[in-house]
Amino acid sequence: MAPLQSAQNIFDSAMNLPNQKRNAFVEEACDGNPNLKQDVLILLSQSDNQQPVNASNNSRSMIGEQIGPYKIEGIIGAGGMGMIHKAKDTRLDRYVALKCLPPHLTVDNQNRERFLNEAKAVSRLDHPNICTLYDIGETDDKQLYIAMPCYDGYPLNKRMVNGPMPLNDTIAICLQIGEGLSAAHNNGIVHRDIKPANVIVTADNIVKILDFGVAKISGVNLTSTGVSLGTVAYMSPEQLCGEAVDSRTDIWALGVMFYEMLIGQRPYKGEQAPAIIHAVLYADRPDLSVPDHLPVALNLIIDKALARDVADRYASVAEFMEDLRKISNNETITAHTINSTVRSVNPNADTQETIINFEQRTIDDLTKELTKHVGPMAPVLVNQAIKTSTSMEELCTKLDEHLPSDRIRQEIRQRFAITSSTQTTEHSTTTGLNLSVRQLQCVSDVTTSFIGPIGKILVNRYSRKSQTAEGLCELLAEHVDDSADKRELINKINKCF
Tell me which residues are annotated as active site: 193
Burial class (CB in 10 A: 0-12, 13-18, 19+), 18: exposed
Query: What CA–CA distance (Å, rounded) separates 251 from 242?
Result: 17
Backbone angles phi, psi at 390, to 5 degrees: -110, 0
- The letter for the amino acid at 263 is I
Backbone angles phi, psi at 128, to 5 degrees: -65, -20
Query: What CA–CA distance (Å, rounded) separates 51 from 279?
Result: 34
How many Cβ atoms sit within 10 Å of the Cβ of residue 68? 19
DSSP string, 154-169: EEHHHHHTT----HHH
**What are residue 296's DSSP bridge partners?**
none
> Is the distance from CB of 277 to CB of 343 less than 8 angstroms?
no
> Is the distance from CB of 72 to CB of 98 less than 8 angstroms?
yes
CA 124 distance to own-chain centroid: 24
DSSP string, 271-310: SSHHHHHHHHHTSPPP--PPPTTS-TTHHHHHHHHT-SSG
